[in-house]
Each structure stands twice: as structure tokens, then as C-alpha cells.
Amino acid sequence: MPEGDTVYRTARTLDQALRGSILTGCDIRVPAFATVDLTGQTVHEVVSRGKHLLHRVGSTSIHSHLKMEGAWHLYRPGTRWLRPAFQARIVLHTAQWVAVGFELGLLELMPTRTESEIVGYLGPDLLGVGWGAADSAEAAARIAAMPERPIIVALADQRNLAGLGNVYVNELCFLRGLSPERAVAEVGDLAGLVHLARRLILANKDRDERTTTGNLRRGAQLWVYGRAGQPCRRCGSRIARGRLGRNELELRDTYRCPRCQT
């Protein structure tokens, strides 16, 4: 699933192409909103909120979530799409661009003034404009509010802080020497963990090749995620893979070094 840095870049690209433009066509291929036509409305902006995307058009917000398979593409009018048309869930036309949302896991429309009813539950956005000490403290407090939860589950909960997915939460646990199943109550410095999460995602927000090791060479970008059975880059122990979570919503694939993460 795309993580907050990927969604941030998607929003920025769409915003640069569409901001201030008037829609010359609007085709929504989701039954609940198929009759809505925003043609003639102005695109005010496209923003990300954690893993969520918001196109603000006229007085309407188009809310989408990529989930596992979704993507937004930009094309010049008349050029061939890179994915089949049957996968398109929404097509927005301007004089200069065609924006296509393919296989979006979620697509809905709402008045912009009611956005908070949809995304207001999210915790502080790690890539939000104006992130400060108050945001960091709030995120740490939200994580601490359920002390019995495994730390990796708490970090991935978008209600605590918005933007982290499986890659980042596994890498964070390794970098802090935490076993993924360790209870939140046993993690000594939640504020430091939140700070590191922001540093990591900020470092990757402007590049397609994500790295937590600082090495962009293929196969060397990550410490543990996706490396089950391979040697730890620090101690040589074999990386172990597991699954953790009380239900399907919380279920996470975990990767850990049994020696470095206690």
C-alpha cells in the first residue's frame, strides 16, 4: 500500500497540473456519484492528508484513497493511457491535462466544508504544513493512550499519526531497537520515536526511491522490510518475518532482527 510520502508526491504533482484550472470534463465511474458532473468548476487545489487525497473543486471535495492497487495518472489530451480504461474510476479533463484515478480503493464526493467528518479522525499528519512541537506531542499522547498495544500496530494506526505504512513502521522499530510486538507501555521515548518517523518520511518525500539506510543502491535501501531470511545489515542474524494484530484491520506483516530488536 502506498505510504504517506508517495501520496504526498501524488498530490503535489496533481496540484501543480490542475490548480487554478477549470474542468472541461468530468466522468465519475462509481455508481453512487456517477451522475455528478463538476464540469465548469475550478480546481482550487489538490492536497494530501496522511494517505488520503483531496481534490478541492468548486465547493466540492473529491476524496480518494489508493489502498493497494490505486494510482492517479496525468496525461496530455489525446495521448494513450498506460492502464486499461476499465480500471478508471474517475476522469477529470482540463484544457491541458487529463487526470485519471485508476482502481482507487475509495472514491467519494462531499461538500468541502464537511471534509472534517471524513478525515477529521486522523492523527497529526507527518508531512503536514506547519508541523510543530504540539503535533509531535499530540501524536505521542495518542500512541500512549493504549499502552497494551504492540508498538508496530500503534505506529501504523492512522488515528495516532497519519502517513506511516508497513515499510516505515518496520524500519522504525529496527532503527530504535524495538521488537514489533513490544507493548507501547514498554517503549521509553515515544516522542523520540515520533521525531524519527518525521525525519524518515521527510527525507523521502521528494524521491521515488525510498531509503531508510541512506543507500539508494538497489537492494540496499531498507534495513529489514521485505528481507525475511536475509542477514541483518548490522549483526548478520537472519531477519525473521511474522504477523501481528488482533483483527484484520490491525494485522501487520513484521520484519525484525532477533538480535538487534529486543
DSSP symbols for 231-258: BPTTT-PBPEEEEE-SSTTT-EEEEE-T
Which among 3, 124, 150, 180 is annotated as catalytic? 3
Distance CA 181, CA 193 (A): 15
Neighbours of 3 (CB within 10 A): 22
* Percent of the chain with pLDDT strictly greater than 90: 94
Read off the pLDDT band of 18 (50, 70, 90). Answer: very high
DSSP state of 207: -
Question: What is the spatial distance between Cα 89 and Cα 102, in angstroms, rounded to a whole number?
Answer: 6
pLDDT band of residue 231 (cuts 50, 70, 90) is: very high
Identify the residue whose cell numbers are 510543530: 132
Is residue 2 scored above 90 in pLDDT?
A: no
pLDDT in the model for residue 244: 87
Quick one: pLDDT band at residue 252, thresholds 50, 70, 90? Answer: confident
Confidence of residue 245 (pLDDT cuts 50, 70, 90): confident
Query: What pLDDT shows up at residue 251?
Result: 76
How is the beta sheet containing 71-75 ordered, strand by strand? 25-28, 88-93, 98-102, 71-75
Active-site entry in 2, 124, 150, 180: 2
Going by C-alpha positions, the residue among 57, 45, 56 that lies closest to residue 16 is 45
* Mean pLDDT calculated for residue range 15-35: 98
Q: pTM of the prediction?
A: 0.94
Instruction: Please give the C-alpha separations between residue 160 and each of 11, 23, 102, 224, in angstroms, as whole numbers.
Output: 22, 36, 28, 23
Which of 31, 45, 51, 147 is catalytic? The answer is 51
pLDDT at 249: 62
The whole-angstrom separation of Cα 253 and Cα 226 is: 9
Q: Mark whether 171 is an active-site residue.
A: no
pLDDT of residue 248: 61
* 2 belongs to the catalytic site: yes
**Does the pLDDT value for residue 1 go beyond 80?**
no
| 51 counts as catalytic | yes
pLDDT in tens, 125-152: 999 999 999 999 999 999 999 999 999 9
